[in-house]
Chain A
Amino acid sequence: MIMNPKRILFSIALFSSSVALGQIATQTQPTPKQTNNSRPGAHVAQKQEDAGSRIFRQNCSRCHNAPEGFSPNISETVLRHMSVRASLSMREKAELLRFLNP
């Protein structure tokens, strides 16, 4: 059986749109707990998502789950590795380093 490509594309678009629209409809502002969920190791409790947390979520968490904490000794090495993979700017690197190693 050969599937009809147009039908497949239509089904995928419909499925994706449904899920995404459902999510956006129920989307709420992040609570501090949700914000900290995306952190690689909750070094510091925060009430607002700071720039470093946002940059981590937008760049690192886009591809992979955050590792559950790691030694502060390697925070800059992690950052330098990631900055090549994610093409981070200097400003983003500085914010991320503060976030990883407050």
Chain B
Amino acid sequence: MRGLRLPFRLLPSGRWSTTLVLTLLVIAFGRSMDAQNTPLISGGIGFFTDTSAGQTTYLPIIEPLLAAPLGPRVLIESRAVLLETFAPNGDGAPGYNHSHFIGLTYLQGDVTLTSHITVVAGSYLIPFNTYNDRLSPIWIGNFQRGPLIANLGTESTGTGTGGMLSGSAVSRNKYSLSYNAYFSSLVNNSYFQSRRSTGGRLNLFMPKQGLEVGFSYNRSLQGVQENFYGADVWWEPAYSGFQLRSEFASGRHAEGYWIETAYRTQAFGGFDSIVGRLEPVFRMQQTFRRDGAASDSLPPANTQIADFGLDYNLPHNTRILASYSREFASTGNFNIWQTGIVYRFLTPVRKGK
């Protein structure tokens, strides 16, 4: 399924229940926290439709996120996904095919060692460029589909299992520099499938200009060992309602980029007016295949997609996403129509004192 990027694995229901038990234990630990440290459940619940080359699928989806502090320095956090895909039976047959996924996207513990170092252990989102760990939740992305290059540099699964150092190296009023460095081991069990790899990311942010520049590196350490390089540039001038986001990623066999712009006007009563809640978005993406040895999940032929979207930011943390895309490739050109509605929830696990 190319509709929604799914960086997770299918879990057998018995093991899923084990995970739920672990989650409840985490919540129980959280009960000892003071008032502001109450564990929370957040996430998004949505319903999407996708019509690609005339084939329509319907996708109800829930992405819950748990964050539970354990003492002043440790935070356990996890995100999961539950979805069902419906598609009409082909050849004029009545009824729908359907399939489901239940999986953990990540489950990690964050230990704050010093003001500049946080140790992340467990199954974590690989910090390569910006999409995987910052834009992939359904309540954040401006488009229902992730970019084509999202799997470059993220070991296809999007997650690593092992350890990561992360933090703010320097923070000044004019600029800040942050970093991530990780090592992932090979894990083949149902919970945390990941590949042996290492890498890191360095980000420079200049708040006055609203400019962010990042560089990423990933090296796959098993099978065909391969280096991936990435760069990202974001420009979001303060109070303008304008966003420019872009990424470039390159591997041995393929490379690509995407550029996305979004705009909300405050000229008609501010961002919360009827017009100000409208958000036109545009994304251009291209992938280039260097050879036929496909060790990644990029399309087998050079591909270009222009995405035109119109989002509406409703009150009460609800967004409507609508987009039209045209995909161009030597294997065939086709249209993609997508609609969706997403509600973002955020609530304490228990009532505070």
A residues engaging B (CB < 8 A)? Answer: 1-3, 5, 8, 12, 15-16, 19-20, 23-24, 26-30, 33-34, 37, 54, 57-58, 62-65, 67-68, 70-78, 80-81, 83-92, 97, 101
1/0 contact string of B161-177 vs chain A (CB within 8 Å): 00000111001000010
7 contacts between A and B (CB under 8 A): A1-B328, A5-B304, A19-B263, A67-B346, A77-B37, A83-B112, A84-B110
B179 at the interface (CB under 8 A from A): yes
- Dominant SS at the A interface? helix
Q: Say yes or no: B346 contacts A30, CB within 8 Å.
A: no
In the complex, how many angstroms separate the beta carbon of B184 from the nearest chain A beta carbon? 17
Across the interface, which residues of A come within 8 angstroms of B352, CB to CB?
71-73
Q: Which residue on B lies nearest to A17, using beta carbons?
A: B244
Beta-carbon nearest neighbor of B272 in chain A = A37
Would you list the 6 A-B pairs with minimal beta carbon distance, nearest first?
A73-B352, A87-B178, A89-B171, A76-B36, A90-B115, A89-B168
User: Do the beta carbons of A77 and B110 come within 8 Å of each other?
Assistant: no
Q: CB within 8 Å of A: which of B279-325?
A: 282, 284, 286, 302, 304, 313, 315-317, 319
The answer on a CB contact under 8 Å between A91 and B171 is yes
Knowing A15-B282, A89-B115, say if A34 contacts B239 (CB, 8 Å). yes
Contact in complex: B237, A68 (CB < 8 Å): no
Residue from B40, B272, B352 whose CB has the most chain A CB atoms within 10 Å: B40
Judge whether B270 and A33 touch: CB under 8 Å. yes
Do A27 and B77 contact each other (CB < 8 Å), given the known contacts A8-B284, A75-B36? no
Decide if B47 is an interface residue (CB 8 Å cutoff): no
B203 pairs with A87, CB closer than 8 A:
yes
* One of B53-61, B80-88, B132-140 at the interface: B132-140
Complex Cα–Cα for A74 and B302 (A): 47
Contact in complex: B272, A20 (CB < 8 Å): no
Bound together, the chains give a CA A24 to CA B238 distance in angstroms of 9
Residues on B with C-beta less than 8 A from A83 are: 112, 118
Is the C-beta of B9 less than 8 angstroms from some C-beta in chain A?
no
Given contacts A2-B302, A23-B242, 13 further A-B contacts (CB under 8 A): A12-B284, A20-B242, A26-B267, A34-B239, A73-B38, A74-B39, A77-B38, A77-B67, A81-B40, A81-B75, A84-B75, A84-B77, A84-B118
Instruction: Give the CA-CA distance A28 to B348 in the complex, in Å.
Output: 38
B208: min CB distance to chain A, Å: 9
Q: How far is the CA of A90 from the CA of B65 in the complex (A)?
A: 24
Contacts of A86 in B (CB 8 A): 178
Contact of B346 among A15, A33, A74 (CB under 8 A): A74
Question: In whole angstroms, how far apart are the Cα atoms of A70 and B348 in the complex?
Answer: 9
Cβ distance B213 to chain A, nearest Cβ, rounded Å: 13
CB of B36 within 8 A of CB of A73, answer: yes
Closest to B271 in A: A37
Smallest CB separation, A12 vs chain B (Å): 5
CB distance from B56 to the nearest CB of A (A): 25
Residues of chain B contacted by A5 (CB below 8 angstroms): 286, 304
- The answer on a CB contact under 8 Å between B330 and A2 is yes
Nearest B-chain residue to A20, judged by Cβ:
B242
B199-212 Cβ-contact flags toward A at 8 Å (1 or 0): 00001010100101
Q: Is A73 touching B168 in the complex (CB atoms < 8 A)? A: no
Closest Cβ–Cβ distance, residue A101 to chain B (whole Å): 6
